[in-house]
C-alpha cells in the first residue's frame, strides 16, 4: 500500500459511526474518529503529570484504528472477548502494522498510560451520553457502563 492509499484508508475512521449511538437512536451520532479525538482532548486536559502525555495521546488516537476493518463492535454484538480482540488485532496489522505495539499496550492495559486511556475511553462515552441525552433519548445504560469503569478514579465525579 503506498502512502496516499494508507492515509486515505486511515481517514475512513471519520466515516464510521459509533454503533452504540446508532443502536440507541441518536440522530447524527459521532464517528469513531470523533470519539478518539474526544478521548485525546480529555486526556490532554486531565493527564496526570507523571504519565507520558505523548504516549497517552498516541494510544487515544490509534486504539480504534482496527475498526476501519472490523467495524465498531459493541457489547450487544455476538463477537466478544478473545474473538473480538483477535479480529481487531488482525485488522490493526492489516491497516496500521506500524502501531501494533500501541494497540497491544492499550489492549493489555499493563502500563499506567494504557489504564488512564481506558478510563478516558469510558469517560468520553459517559460525557457524550450526557450530551446526547439532551435529544430526549434514554442513555442511562451508557452512563452506567462508564461509571462502572471510572468508579474509584478521580474522574468518577464527572459522570454524576
Just give the CATH number of 3-159. Answer: 1.10.3210.10
CA distances from 72 to 32, 76, 84, 144 (A): 8, 11, 10, 20
**pLDDT on residue 152:** 86
Find the distance separating the first CA and the last CA of the chain, reported in whole Å. 46
Q: Where are the alpha helices (DSSP H) in 47-99?
A: 53-62, 67-70, 81-95
pLDDT of residue 75: 79
Domain regions of the chain by residue span:
3-159
Region 136-152: mean pLDDT is 91
Radius of gyration of the chain measured on its C-alpha atoms? 15
The per-residue pLDDT for range 88-130, each reduced to its tens digit, is 999 999 999 999 999 999 999 999 999 999 999 999 999 999 9
Q: Please say if the pLDDT value at position 1 is more than 80.
A: no
Amino acid at each position: 500500500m503506498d502512502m496516499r492509499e494508507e492515509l486515505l484508508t486511515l481517514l475512513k475512521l471519520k466515516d464510521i459511526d459509533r454503533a452504540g449511538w446508532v443502536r440507541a437512536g441518536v440522530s447524527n451520532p459521532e464517528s469513531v474518529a470523533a470519539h478518539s479525538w474526544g478521548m485525546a482532548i480529555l486526556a490532554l486536559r486531565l493527564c496526570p503529570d507523571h504519565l507520558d502525555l505523548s504516549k497517552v495521546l498516541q494510544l487515544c488516537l490509534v486504539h480504534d484504528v482496527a475498526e476501519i476493518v472490523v467495524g465498531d463492535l459493541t457489547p450487544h454484538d455476538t463477537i466478544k472477548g478473545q474473538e473480538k480482540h483477535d479480529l481487531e488485532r488482525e485488522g490493526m496489522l492489516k491497516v496500521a502494522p506500524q502501531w501494533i505495539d500501541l494497540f497491544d499496550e492499550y489492549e493489555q492495559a499493563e502500563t499506567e498510560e494504557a489504564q488512564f486511556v481506558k478510563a478516558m475511553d469510558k469517560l468520553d462515552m459517559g460525557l457524550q451520553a450526557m450530551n446526547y441525552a439532551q435529544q430526549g433519548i434514554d442513555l442511562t445504560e451508557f452512563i452506567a457502563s462508564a461509571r462502572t469503569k471510572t468508579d474509584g478514579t478521580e474522574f468518577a465525579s464527572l459522570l454524576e
